[in-house]
Structure 1
Amino acid sequence: MYILEEALACLAYGVLGMVLMALGYLLVDLLTPGKLHALIWTDKNPNATLVLAANTLGVALVVATAVYTSTGSLAEGLTLTCVYGVIGLLLMGLSFVAIDLLTPGKLGAVVTHADLQPAAWINASAHVAVALVVAAAIS
């Protein structure tokens, strides 16, 4: 019975992680002009791809840390993982807005630019950095 319980817990955490990553996708889509799906899969936009990849990795870092440090019941672990994941997403979105306000130009326009832009790297690294801070706060 132990193996079945652990397998179901793994499945539950995996599904929650995928839901949080999907929310991250929606967040990046909301913060960038145009449709993220078209920017990445149709236009092959490197900036949008970089920012979304960093966001996805950031969410995974937060979720993995929350899962790794979880103690107690499965329900408690899933709840805390969800809360930490949402906090991470909100802070990543806030970092996008803060960078946009503190730098010249509009970050959304930079992210949708056809050529790889240095500002996209700054934004992407901010997503990962925020996720690392949230992950450190969890542990």
Structure 2
Amino acid sequence: MTTEVVALASDYWSTLGRGVSAIVLYAILGLALMVLGFFAIDWTTPGKLRTLVREGRPNAAVVTASGMVSMALIVVLAIYASSGKLVEGLIYSAVFGLVGIAAQVISVRLIELVSAIEIGDVLAREKFTPEVLVVAAAHLALGLVVAVAIL
């Protein structure tokens, strides 16, 4: 019977610790940016999205969901594009994430203006209306454009 000894590299534990720390810190930053993104959408959209979603307004749920997915695209690409040392990457992700969120919110409001959608009225309706799909598509499309621009 042979006995094999498994040896770990001398820097194994420090490398593992840095990796775990990076995951935790990027997760915290990502969550903070997502929460900020939600509040940016809520602040710039007529009506309180949280309340409208809780009341079961389907259009508000569609806009909120598409807005959150678009914010996630921006945050994910900001994190992906950040390379180098951990602190530099976190700063890069935070700055580009914030700029991306601002660009996203402004762009969607402009699309609503150009398309003449009264978003406050649409969000408050108790039944699904097709024009909410234009707003949802704008969120997703512009989120993707902004996210790729970060690269």
**CA distance in 1: counterparts of 2:59 and 2:43, whole angstroms:** 15
Aligned equivalent of 1:14, options 27, 31, 40: 27
Assess, with a 3 A threshold, how the Cα gap between structure 1 residues 118 and 10 changes in structure 2: closer, same or farther.
Answer: same
Aligned equivalent of 2:75, options 56, 63, 72: 63
Q: Which residue of 2 aligns with 1:96?
A: 108
Aligned equivalent of 2:48, options 35, 49, 56: 35
Bigger helix fraction: 1
Q: Which residue of 1 aligns with 2:17?
A: 4
RMSD: 1.6
Identity of matched residues, %: 36
Q: Which residue of 2 aligns with 1:54?
A: 66
Q: Which residue of 2 aligns with 1:25?
A: 38
**CA distance in 2: counterparts of 1:28 and 1:135, whole angstroms:** 17
Of 95-104 and 114-123, more deviation after overlay is shown by 95-104
Number of paired residues?
138
| TM-score in terms of structure 1 length | 0.89
* SS of corresponding position for 2:50: helix
Moved over 6 A (4+): none
**CA distance in 1: counterparts of 2:108 and 2:98, whole angstroms:** 15
Alignment map for 1:93-132 (pairs within 5 Å): 93-132=105-144
Structure with larger Rg:
2
Equivalent AA in structure 2 for residue 68 of structure 1? Y
Equivalent AA in structure 1 for residue 116 of structure 2? P
Q: Which runs of 5+ in 1 are unaligned?
A: none
